[in-house]
Structure 1
Amino acid sequence: MGTRNFDVKKLLNDRKFWFASFLIAWAAALQGHMMWLQRQDSFKQKFGTLDDHDTDDRHDSTPI
């Protein structure tokens, strides 16, 4: 098998490397954000929102 010389300087100067790195990082961040949104929706479905509880408390007070 032949040996390949791996030139780090050439790799760091390559625009394709930086574009691919940015694309992978962006996709990972987007997936993490979507998972976080899904978790927030699941929590709201399970426990409701704070606004739902506040409106129930307001109806319990006696009018003046």
Structure 2
Amino acid sequence: HPSPKEITHYKKLCEMFSPLGGITLDPFMGSGTTIKMAKSLGRYYIGIDISQEYCDIAEKRLEQEYLF
């Protein structure tokens, strides 16, 4: 379920709606771009997806040292 957006879009959303140290919830996380951005910005995060395949992809992305 691709949903391509500019990285700056995710950063802006996290900064606008989640304070530093706050929680970002992504109930349709897909590959985890939003929660990866939240992590990089010092937010806690919760990601949910119906697809186990995408949950696995997101988990691997969160383990990476670099952002994208």
TM class, shorter-chain normalised?
under 0.3
Q: Which protein, 1 or 2, shows the higher relative CO under an 8 Å CA cutoff with sep ≥ 6?
A: 2
Higher helix share: 1
Higher strand share: 2
Q: Larger radius of gyration, structure 1 or 2?
A: 1
Q: TM-score, normalised by structure 2?
A: 0.22
